């Protein structure tokens, strides 16, 4: 089974939803059969790359509320994060995440995607580090086990893994995702939002029970099995 | 969309079926959305690792036929291979493929799985090279772009990627595959055997048209979209 998770590093419910999903997965009997793939989704692709805009200012402007009201909103999200044992700081920076997604694809090529995503989430939400700074990205990526030379090459070349990020975003649109986190099990079941762990566990159970629908049996087709291979006209 | 292909390097219909699948994929309008993953399946896990048994002798013994009859059977398979533009030699060696599958998983970790699988097929079927020889495997793996030190480490350690090979084989059994090649689209549609290209194209069309079935909409769940994030009690 494969679960694809579309998310953005700037998305609080992706950060929290990932922990909830993992709790649901841990409670799923066939968890060892599950492979998790993280997909790119930018909530604000027009955000400036090297931003120094505080999230609270962005929220106040976006919702047309006071800074105090934005702080209250953030406090409620922080409380939800705390329930999952996650640190959450509201003094973080709002910025573009395209380079982060490109690096996550490099991470996938090295089998280190999940480690890097966790490092990005932690740096953003728990540590409020400036993720618009390429030096910070390089430090996080190498710390997650990516080769320093490849990280530098990807950061220097805006086309590196850009197609992969765009392909993920197209796929999300085709699957009907308008927000994140968006979870898809075997391209068959979609789960939208940071649902409770039990919702994820039940969806995994259902997908597992359904199994594969074989539409094209071997029939006369050419197949090899333990007893040998079919031979034409034999 | 994701297509998983279970196959064995020792399987003629996997070699031929891969070419037929690729022809079907090339004729599929949404081919750019398709990711292909190759999965391990051993047709003869008890075969000796460093075998020098000619395939023709193995076939004669397995089917209880003469060597001349085994050659006739192989000639029919070679004719099918030729129709796909593939060279096919019957003077190849029959042997164990476990180490090849372990290396294919290393290849996947480096994004070079397909290149390595093609190299293995070519070496086995078109060139009749002795794939029981670790030096040949190392040459093919590094030629396909894998780092020489990691290839040597995997070849020296029989446990390296062994779990991944076993997991693929368990998944095949759970999906009901008793022979290979076995193609699975999005864990939803199974196609058994080296079917004609058009069968693959049609199965891809059908899987694409069905799309994802969303069972858990966001509802009150916590989700972030272009217009912002849901906030509890807000």
- Per-residue pLDDT of A42-67, as tens digits, reads 999 999 887 789 999 999 998 899 99
Closest residue in chain B to residue A191, using alpha carbons only: B216
Query: Could you tell me the CATH number of the domain that includes residue A10?
Result: 3.40.30.10
- Beta-carbon contacts of B228 under 8 Å, excluding residues fewer than 6 positions away, are A59, A62, A63
Instruction: State whether residue A203 sits within 8 Å of chain B by CB.
Output: yes
ipTM higher than threshold 0.85: no
Closest residue in chain B to residue A105, using alpha carbons only: B111
Domain that holds residue A162: 2-229
CB contact under 8 A, B76 and A231: yes
Is residue B110 situated within a structural domain? yes
Average pLDDT of chain A, as a whole number:
92
Q: How many domains does chain A have?
A: 1
Is residue A234 situated within a structural domain? no
- Beta-carbon contacts of B203 under 8 Å, excluding residues fewer than 6 positions away, are A215, A216, B24, B183, B185, B189, B191
- Nearest Cα to Cα of residue A220 among B186, B13, B41, B7: B13
Is residue B234 situated within a structural domain? no
Q: What is the pLDDT along chain B (234 residues), one digit of tens a residue?
A: 899 999 999 999 999 999 999 999 999 999 988 999 999 999 999 998 877 899 999 999 988 999 999 999 999 999 999 999 999 999 999 999 999 999 999 999 998 999 999 999 999 999 999 999 999 999 999 999 999 999 999 999 999 999 999 999 999 988 888 889 999 998 888 899 999 999 999 999 988 887 766 667 767 678 888 788 887 665
Is residue B147 situated within a structural domain? yes
Is residue A203 situated within a structural domain? yes
Is residue A145 situated within a structural domain? yes
Is residue A205 situated within a structural domain? yes
Instruction: State whether residue A47 sits within 8 Å of chain B by CB.
Output: no
| Cα A1 from Cα B145, distance rounded (Å) | 29
Dump pLDDT digits (tens) for B164-216. Answer: 999 999 999 888 888 899 999 988 888 999 999 999 999 999 888 877 666 67
């Amino acid at each position: 089974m494969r679960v694809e998770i579309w998310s953005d590093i700037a998305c609080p419910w992706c950060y929290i939803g990932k922990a909830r999903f993992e709790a649901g997965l841990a409670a799923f009997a066939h968890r060892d059969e599950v492979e998790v793939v993280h997909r790119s989704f930018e909530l604000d692709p027009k955000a400036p790359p090297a931003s120094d805009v505080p999230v609270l200012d962005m929220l106040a402007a976006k919702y047309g509320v006071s800074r105090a009201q934005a702080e209250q909103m953030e406090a409620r999200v922080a409380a939800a994060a705390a329930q999952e044992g996650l640190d959450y700081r509201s003094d973080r920076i709002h910025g573009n995440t395209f380079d982060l997604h490109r690096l996550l694809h490099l991470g996938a090529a090295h089998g280190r995607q999940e480690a890097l995503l966790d490092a990005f989430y932690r740096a953003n939400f728990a540590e409020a580090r400036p993720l618009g700074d390429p030096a910070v990205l390089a430090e996080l990526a190498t710390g997650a086990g990516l080769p320093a030379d490849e990280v530098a090459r990807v950061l220097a070349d805006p086309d590196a893994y850009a197609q992969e990020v765009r392909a993920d975003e197209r796929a999300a649109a085709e699957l009907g995702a308008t927000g994140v986190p968006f979870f898809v099990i075997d391209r068959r079941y979609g789960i939208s939002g940071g649902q409770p762990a039990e919702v994820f566990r039940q969806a995994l159970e259902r997908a597992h029970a359904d199994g594969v629908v074989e539409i094209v049996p071997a029939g006369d087709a050419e197949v090899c099995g333990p007893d040998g291979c079919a031979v034409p006209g034999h």
